[in-house]
Amino acid sequence: MDSEEYNIEYLKENGFTRKKCERCGSHFWTRDHDRKTCGDAPCEFYSFIGNPIFKERSADEIRESFLSFFEHCPHKHTRMKRYPVVARWRDDIYLNIASIANFQPFVTSGKVPPPANPLVISQPCIRLEDLESIGKTGRHLTAFEMMGHHAFNKRGGEEIYWKNDTVKYCDGFLRHLGVDMDSVTYKEAPWVGGGNAGPCLEVITNGLELATLVFMDLELSPQGEISINGQRYTKMDTYIVDTGYGLERFVWASKGTPTVYDAMFPDVIKELVNASGFEHPLETHPAIIIQNARLSGAMKREEIANKLGISLKNLKNILEPIETIYAIADHTKCLAFMLADGVVPSNAKEGYLARLVLRRVFRMLKSMGIGIPLEDIVLMQIETLRKSFPELEKSVDRIVELVSLEHRRYDETLLKGERIIRQMARGYKRKEEQKIPLDMLINLYDTHGLPPEFVKEVVSNQEAGVDVEVDIPENFYSLVASMHSEERKGEMEQPIVEKIEEKTKSIPATQKLYYEKPSAVDFEATVLDFVDGSVILDKTLFFPEGGGQPADTGSLTLKEENNRTLKVIDVQEVEGVILHKIENGGVSKGAVVSGHIDAARRIAHTKHHSATHVVVCAAREVLGGHIWQAGAQKGEKRARIDITHFKRISDAERREIEMLANRIVMEDKEIKASFEDRNEAEQKYGFRIYQGGVPPGKRIRIVRIGEDEDVQACAGTHCSKTGEIGPIKILRTERIQDGIERIEYSAGEAAVKEIQLLEELIRKSASVLRVPVHKLPSAVERFFEEWKQLRKENERLRAEIAEQRIGLWKEHARDIRGVSVIAEVLPGADTKEMMKIASQLSKDDFLTILIGKREKHASVVSSVPVYLRNEVNASALVKRVCEVLGGSGGGKAEIAQGGGTKIEKVKEAMEAGITLVDDLISKKVQK
């Protein structure tokens, strides 16, 4: 990047000199004219360990100092409340990874103004890309607070402030804390991320990077004039001050402890050390721990061991237990924020990432022999954080239940997993492969939830009988987390959308009459264009598909063409332009059409859409505040909503949700829909407005029920009052995937019809059993008990008949070269029954071939007594018989099964089996 980007007046005017680091070659700015290195690790050791950079301060004190400093500086930044750690306002990432992420993509792109300008915030963030480093480096964290001050400038507009003031404020804040300013360096390091780039200064002192000052002013562009790391960039319309000050780094610098974990989690670490039964190495090996901490940013572990004069093995033995405890302390803070902010562990999206962290901690606790339940450690973290984040305490009961449930599921997963791992390992051994590949380890973790360490334990167990290597990459969990950290878009649809956008970009946005006249069904409009079989009008009543609501259908009539009618079969919206897909024919630009929508279809969709909001509201009230919409679909007869929840919805909860939803309907609450400023809506209602997705634009349509019982950003059609929805009947609930529950329901007339269908079903059932409806449950129970008794009696009689039949078979068994063979065709017999008979007969030294003949399929079972198994193989017999039947089969040498569909060849198949037996036995005799 051009050095002119760092030609900052403040640096030159305040005694800074630009130098080149003798070790890494980076350019940096310093007041110390004798300095030869940039000051960053690994060019410099952590010299603050045991020698704090400034007066000790707690996390709360550092945070308040930062926020107050920028509130009262000349630009008077507005203090912002934290955003959730779940990026609900984003459709590209799952977790909040930086304070600037709060304002992407709409604010940073200039499409939406910032909520305040300038602003200051201390934002809890979660990053999982360095999982393998947590606990080991002394500085890496999964959960951290990024303190940031931001200024959003627009080219051609009034500049808030830019590079000069940013560096001036940073210098001022460090001086305010008491940092020796001669020790501070500003290292030049171009920043790239999320499609943007810009010059950046890393703020370093005593080997520790405390902050980064990013001047974001570039965006990716194939024809861009600026090249960074092989990518082309061009100047943005906006230019943004994006700073990140690491709160935990500042606390660490003020305490000078060996690691950031000792600075941030002293009480939790003490509890964990006591529970593990081992001594903290600060007590047993203080010199080694402190030296390791100072060198860890600059040297590899092997180099540190050599410098300390001990073996690498001994160094690991000293460090690894406490590093595991450090990681547990870090991960439990991460979980406190994730779970309190509504993440439900699952196998997808942010739920996958939460489960990944949970299961890492379960494993670590077990490896350290720590018996404290994980939920209790998470609660310790919440207790520590409650002063600054009191909202975390509201979720304590749910977190306890959820973590306990996840532990049980994890134990069950491991129990089931042993068999899967052994079977897989034997497969690799048969193929003479010595090592389980990485992609299989990832698959075992992704598909079955089996950690690679557990896989290694199972295959290393001598009793498992497999000898396959398992090499676990150090970055395994970071690799898996990176695969699940971003939303993956549908790649096939994008070119189609871009093609349509290109054709419609010059056409003005369609006037949406369905908002202005929600009860109208007829309208007149002018044709603006005809694109790929779709009519574009200047205005329309037709609702385009979106938000789980299907498109309206209906017709367009051309009066000037003898009332020629075009059937509208689909409606879509692309960048504000609405396209009406017609069944056949075409239409000319400028033509005037009369539109008519299918009113019954629209009304049904409208009621089901409003009912969806009501059901989600009721579910949140009954199940908890963590409920989040994961998908929805509205139809004419029924609708469904998918919600995040960590366990099955019980019958009692289902009835309670249904009752509450109908109460909301009967209270006839007002449903208000209006367009509001995005920032104002977020601040007024919170990020729950994005339940149904994240709409673009500066102004978004907000739908509110009653006194804001439910508020969502929603483009769908809605009733004006909840009473218009009519009754809501929940038809069923089901788990569609781990952590996601589906509620299916009907509303209005559709609900009445569903209730009537259920009543008719009950009436017919009562009629069949010839009992009054109110006695149906007891009658069904009585009949069921009688049926069970009859089934037992039936099984007893069948067993008796089978015994008699087996006795006859034994008496009339075929003698083939001295071998007793029972070959029988059994009409109606099933495989399970025949397997039982064959197994019994083989114990009595009979060779069996049994064929169960049914209407369209024949089942085959064969068994071979022990003394014949070297000459006759049951699997080979079954395969031969099944060949004739047009099927296949297999099994073990002693017993096998199969089948086929050519039932007309049953006799021929039996003869083929007997012939094979004769051939095999004759070979034995010849020997």
Q: How confident is the model at residue 512 (pLDDT cuts 50, 70, 90)?
A: very high
The tokens describing 537, both together, are 């009008």
pLDDT for 467 equals 67
pLDDT for 465 equals 55
Architecture of domain 46-255: 2-Layer Sandwich (3.30)
Are 564 and 591 in contact by the 8 Å Cβ rule? The answer is no
- Beta-sheet pairing, 196-198 with 814-816: unpaired
pLDDT, one tens digit per residue, over 810-866 is: 988 999 988 999 999 988 888 888 998 999 899 999 999 999 998 889 999 999 998
Are 421 and 455 in contact by the 8 Å Cβ rule? The answer is yes
The tokens describing 908, both together, are 């021929």
Q: Is 196 helix (H, G, I), strand (E, B) or coil?
A: strand
Q: How would DSSP label each residue in 526-559? A: EEEEEETTEEEESEE-PPPSBTTBPPP-EEEEEG
Q: How would you class 707 by CB atoms within 10 Å of its CB: exposed for 0-12, middle for 13-18, buried for 19 or more? A: exposed
Query: Crossing angle of helices 312-340/286-295, nearest 10°?
Result: 70
The CA distance from 78 to 115, in Å, is 9
pLDDT, one tens digit per residue, over 631-663 is: 899 999 999 999 999 999 999 999 999 999 999
Of 877, 63, 814, 43, the C-alpha closest to 389 is: 63
pLDDT for 420 equals 83
> Cα-atom radius of gyration of the chain, to the nearest Å?
36
| Beta bridge pairs of residue 151 | 241
CA 406 vs. chain centroid, Å, equals 15
pLDDT at 497 over 80: no
Assign 3-class secondary structure to 706-750: CCCCEEEECCCCCCCEHHHHCCEEEEEEEEEECCEEEEEEEECHH
Amino acid identity, residue 178?
A: G
Q: How confident is the model at residue 745 (pLDDT cuts 50, 70, 90)?
A: very high
Per-residue pLDDT averaged across 330-339, rounded? 96
pLDDT at 494 over 60: no
pLDDT for 491 equals 43
Ordered strands of the 740-747 beta sheet: 629-634, 639-644, 740-747, 728-737
The CA distance from 239 to 159, in Å, is 9
Cis upstream peptide for 105 (omega within 30°): yes
The CA distance from 217 to 79, in Å, is 24
pLDDT higher for 430 or 452?
452
The CA distance from 766 to 769, in Å, is 5
Of 214, 221, 218, 210, the C-alpha closest to 199 is: 214
Of 71, 75, 97, the C-alpha closest to 84 is: 97
Which H helix or E strand runs over 331?
Answer: helix 312-340
Are 680 and 700 in contact by the 8 Å Cβ rule? The answer is no
Report the alpha-carbon angle 802-805-811, nearest 5. Answer: 140
pLDDT at 547 over 90: no
pLDDT at 498 over 70: no
Query: What fold is seen in the domain 805-926?
Result: Diaminopimelate Epimerase; Chain A, domain 1 (3.10.310)
- Beta-sheet pairing, 895-900 with 858-863: antiparallel
pLDDT, one tens digit per residue, over 448-469 is: 788 888 888 777 764 555 567 7
Are 885 and 858 in contact by the 8 Å Cβ rule? The answer is yes
Q: How would you class 447 by CB atoms within 10 Å of its CB: exposed for 0-12, middle for 13-18, buried for 19 or more? A: exposed
Per-residue pLDDT averaged across 478-483, rounded? 79
The tokens describing 79, both together, are 């203090």
pLDDT at 738 over 50: yes
Q: Kindly report the CATH class assigned to 602-760.
A: alpha beta
1.10.472.10, 2.40.30.130, 3.90.1150.10, 3.40.50.11720: CATH of 498-597? 2.40.30.130
Q: Which residue has the tokens 């068999």?
A: 419
Q: Is 565 helix (H, G, I), strand (E, B) or coil?
A: strand
Q: How confident is the model at residue 549 (pLDDT cuts 50, 70, 90)?
A: very high
The tokens describing 678, both together, are 């995005």
The CB-based long-range contact list for 807-810 (8 Å cut-off, 24+ gap) reads 809/841, 810/841, 810/844, 810/846
- Beta-sheet pairing, 196-198 with 208-220: antiparallel
pLDDT, one tens digit per residue, over 146-160 is: 999 999 999 888 899
- Beta-sheet pairing, 119-126 with 78-79: parallel
The CA distance from 549 to 877, in Å, is 58
Are 923 and 870 in contact by the 8 Å Cβ rule? The answer is no
pLDDT for 896 equals 94
Cis upstream peptide for 42 (omega within 30°): yes
Are 55 and 208 in contact by the 8 Å Cβ rule? The answer is no
The tokens describing 199, both together, are 């010059």
Phi-psi category of residue 796: left, alpha or beta, with phi > 0 → left and psi -120 to 50 → alpha: alpha
Q: How would DSSP label each residue in 588-601? A: -TT-EEEEEE-HHH
Are 319 and 137 in contact by the 8 Å Cβ rule? The answer is no
Identical fold at 498-597 and 805-926? no
Q: How would you class 365 by CB atoms within 10 Å of its CB: exposed for 0-12, middle for 13-18, buried for 19 or more? A: buried
The CA distance from 450 to 443, in Å, is 9
Q: Is 239 helix (H, G, I), strand (E, B) or coil?
A: strand
pLDDT for 490 equals 46
Phi, psi angles (nearest 5°) of residue 378? -60, -40
Per-residue pLDDT averaged across 200-229, rounded? 91
Chain-wide mean pLDDT for the chain? 90
- Beta-sheet pairing, 847-853 with 819-827: parallel
pLDDT at 36 over 70: yes
pLDDT for 860 equals 95
Comparing 222-236, 374-388, 671-685, the range with the smallest average pLDDT is 222-236
The CA distance from 525 to 546, in Å, is 22
The DSSP code for 125 is E
The tokens describing 858, both together, are 């024949």
Cβ count within 10 A of residue 419? 10
pLDDT at 874 over 60: yes
pLDDT, one tens digit per residue, over 218-275 is: 988 888 888 888 888 999 889 999 999 999 999 999 999 999 999 999 999 999 999 9
Q: What is the dihedral of CA 404, 405, 407, 411, to 10 degrees?
A: 140
- Beta-sheet pairing, 710-713 with 819-827: unpaired
Of 85, 67, 76, 81, the C-alpha closest to 682 is: 81
Of 244, 246, 282, the C-alpha closest to 262 is: 282
Of 238, 73, 207, 229, the C-alpha closest to 138 is: 207
pLDDT for 499 equals 61
Q: Is 66 helix (H, G, I), strand (E, B) or coil?
A: helix
Whole-Å CA distances, 453 to 367, 413, 444, 449, 456: 11, 14, 11, 12, 5
pLDDT for 492 equals 39
pLDDT for 493 equals 47
Q: Is the dihedral of CA 531, 566, 552, 526 positive or negative?
A: positive
The CA distance from 323 to 131, in Å, is 12
Q: How would you class 64 by CB atoms within 10 Å of its CB: exposed for 0-12, middle for 13-18, buried for 19 or more? A: middle
Phi-psi category of residue 389: left, alpha or beta, with phi > 0 → left and psi -120 to 50 → alpha: beta
Report the alpha-carbon angle 714-717-720, nearest 5. Answer: 105
Domain residue limits, the chain: 46-255, 265-388, 398-487, 498-597, 602-760, 805-926
Cis upstream peptide for 437 (omega within 30°): no
Q: Which residue has the tokens 């990047």?
A: 1
Assign 3-class secondary structure to 126-194: ECCCCHHHCCCCCCCCCEEEEEEEEEEEECCCCCCCCHHHHHHHHHHHHHHHCCCHHHEEEEECCEEEC
